Structures are given as structure tokens and as C-alpha cells.
């Protein structure tokens, strides 16, 4: 019996860890660390890079498509503000949900689209290539209010504030298989879900399913052998078998629930 209790504890612990990893970044507005502003006029929502100028190290608006030196986003209203407080210091969020200034210079942005830096300093845009990215859009661009407009190469560009789930990393344009899986899952769930979440949900589901099938099969074989050797022990063996079935069913339900949470929330 201890074997099954240990199995439940191990799987339950793994489930808690997976949920924590997935949702740890979902704190609204994130945790900010204060950094020296190396220029005037940086506003909340701008994407910044951490750079060194002489003896000074601080933040400066990120410029260029898929800039490799993206560091975070200015947020004057973070969940937690850590560091020195002064007029020359700015709070920078590097993970979690945060409001980011974005434009439609690379096209309209929809929920689930990848956001990166752009040629407009400090302003994000839809990612269209492999390279470094800022995070994932959590809102539709066309449903937001325009903050300001700019004209670039004769084209009117709108700039808006959009909630983005930060995840600065190097991004490789997904292959056809990955895109197909994400598209299929999105059509089923009605929302855009990252490929990583789909893989995690699948692994957890298969873990629960395989555990369920294996334990039921093994327990059934052991029960048949035990009863054939000692028919008088039939009731005891059946009681133990039902107990095992209840435990592995619970494990499977936990795995199934976790997979659902990963895909739907």
C-alpha cells in the first residue's frame, strides 16, 4: 500500500511543480527592479535594454527588430517595486504580465501573437521572423484605444498599450508540424495556446493514462494468481484490488485535470 501512496505523492508533487511553472509568470504587472534611466522621457510601457555608458549602467529604449539586448519593460505601477527610489530610477519588469506599448508597423496583432522590438525605439510590434522576442500578446490590437500615431515611410502607424506575457528569449520560427498542432488545439479550445503547454499537457495526460492501464493490468494478474492459489482469500484480494483501482483512478483524474488546466487557462 505504501507503494501506491508514494506514487500519488510523487505525481501530485510533479503536478504542483508544473502548475507553478506555468502560472508563476501570470502575476499581473509583475515584480519591478529599479534601474538608472540613461535618457530622459522614457515612459511606462516602453521596451528597454540594459546597457553601459562609461561608468554608468542603466536602461535605454530598445531599438531595432528582434533586438538581442531586450531586457524588460518600464512599468510605473508594478505588483512589487524593488530597489532604490529616486527621480532618475525607473521600475523595470522582466517577467509576468505587463502593459507594453506596441504598434501595427508589422501588421495587426491578435491574442497569442509573438511580440518583439521594432524600429520605433521602445515600441513593440508583431514578430515576423526568427530572432529575439519579448513575449506573447494577451489582447487584440484592434480592440484597444490608440495612444498616439506616427508616420513612417508614408504609412500611418498606431501605437497602443497592450498586455503582454513577458518571456524574453531567442525564437525560431516553428515548423509546419508545430504550427499544425497549435492551430488544431486552438480550434478545439477556442484560444491560442503555446506549443510548450500542449506538450506538457500531453505528457501529463499520458503519464496518468499509462500509470492507470499498467497498474490495473498488473493488479488484475496478481489478484487472479492469488485467488487461484488460495480461494479462501478471494474477499481480501478483491478488497485490495478495489483499493488499488481507486488510487490509480485518482492519479489519472489528477493528471487529466492538470492537462485541462494547462490547455484552458
150-170 pLDDT, tens per residue?
Answer: 998 888 999 999 999 888 988
Provide the pLDDT for residue 260: 81
Q: Kindly report each contact of residues 77-83 with a partner whose C-beta sits within 8 Å and lies 24 or more positions away, as own/partner.
A: 77/29, 77/44, 78/29, 78/30, 78/31, 78/32, 79/27, 79/28, 79/29, 79/30, 79/31, 79/32, 80/31, 80/32, 81/32, 81/34, 82/31, 82/32, 82/33, 82/34, 83/33, 83/34, 83/35
Range of weakest confidence among 23-27, 93-97, 224-228: 23-27
Q: In 3-state terms, what secondary structure has residue 57?
A: strand
Name which of 181, 208, 207 is nearest 263 in CA terms. Answer: 181
Range of weakest confidence among 43-57, 100-114, 131-145, 192-206: 192-206
CA distance 17 to 24: 10
Enter the pTM of the model.
0.61
Task: Estimate to the nearest angstrom the gap between the alpha carbon of 152 and the chain centroid.
Answer: 33
C-alpha distances in Å from residue 55, one per residue of 41, 146, 183, 261: 21, 38, 49, 48
What share of the chain has pLDDT > 70, as a percent?
A: 79
The order of strands in the sheet holding 31-36 is: 56-61, 47-53, 70-74, 89-93, 31-36, 80-82
Contact 93, 72 (CB under 8 A): yes
Domains defined for the chain, CATH in brackets: 25-173 (2.40.300.10), 197-264 (1.20.20.10)
Provide the pLDDT for residue 251: 87
C-alpha cell at 121: 525605439
Higher pLDDT, 13 or 203: 203
Amino acid at each position: 500500500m505504501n507503494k501506491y501512496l508514494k506514487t500519488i505523492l510523487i505525481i501530485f508533487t510533479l503536478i504542483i511543480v508544473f502548475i507553478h511553472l506555468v502560472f508563476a509568470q501570470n502575476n499581473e504587472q509583475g515584480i519591478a527592479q529599479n534601474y538608472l534611466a540613461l535618457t530622459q522621457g522614457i515612459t511606462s510601457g516602453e521596451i528597454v535594454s540594459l546597457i553601459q555608458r562609461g561608468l554608468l549602467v542603466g536602461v535605454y529604449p530598445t531599438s531595432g527588430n528582434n533586438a538581442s539586448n531586450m531586457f524588460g519593460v518600464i512599468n510605473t505601477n508594478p505588483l512589487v517595486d524593488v530597489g532604490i527610489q529616486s527621480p532618475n530610477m525607473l521600475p523595470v519588469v522582466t517577467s509576468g504580465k505587463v502593459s507594453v506599448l506596441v504598434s501595427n508597423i508589422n501588421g495587426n496583432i491578435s491574442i497569442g501573437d509573438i511580440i518583439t522590438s521594432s524600429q520605433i525605439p521602445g515600441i513593440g510590434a508583431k514578430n515576423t521572423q526568427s530572432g529575439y522576442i519579448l513575449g506573447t500578446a494577451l489582447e487584440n490590437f484592434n480592440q484597444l484605444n490608440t495612444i498616439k500615431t506616427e508616420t513612417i515611410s508614408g504609412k500611418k502607424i498606431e501605437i497602443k498599450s497592450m498586455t503582454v506575457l513577458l518571456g524574453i528569449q531567442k525564437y525560431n520560427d516553428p515548423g509546419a508540424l508545430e504550427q499544425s498542432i497549435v492551430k488544431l488545439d486552438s480550434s478545439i479550445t477556442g484560444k491560442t495556446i503555446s506549443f510548450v503547454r500542449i506538450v506538457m499537457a500531453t505528457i501529463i495526460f499520458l503519464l496518468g493514462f499509462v500509470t492507470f492501464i499498467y497498474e490495473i493490468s498488473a493488479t488484475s494478474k496478481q489478484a487472479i494468481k492469488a485467488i487461484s492459489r488460495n480461494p479462501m482469500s478471494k474477499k481480501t484480494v478483491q478488497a485490495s484490488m478495489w483499493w488499488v483501482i481507486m488510487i490509480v483512478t485518482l492519479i489519472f483524474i489528477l493528471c487529466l485535470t492538470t492537462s485541462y488546466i494547462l490547455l484552458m487557462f
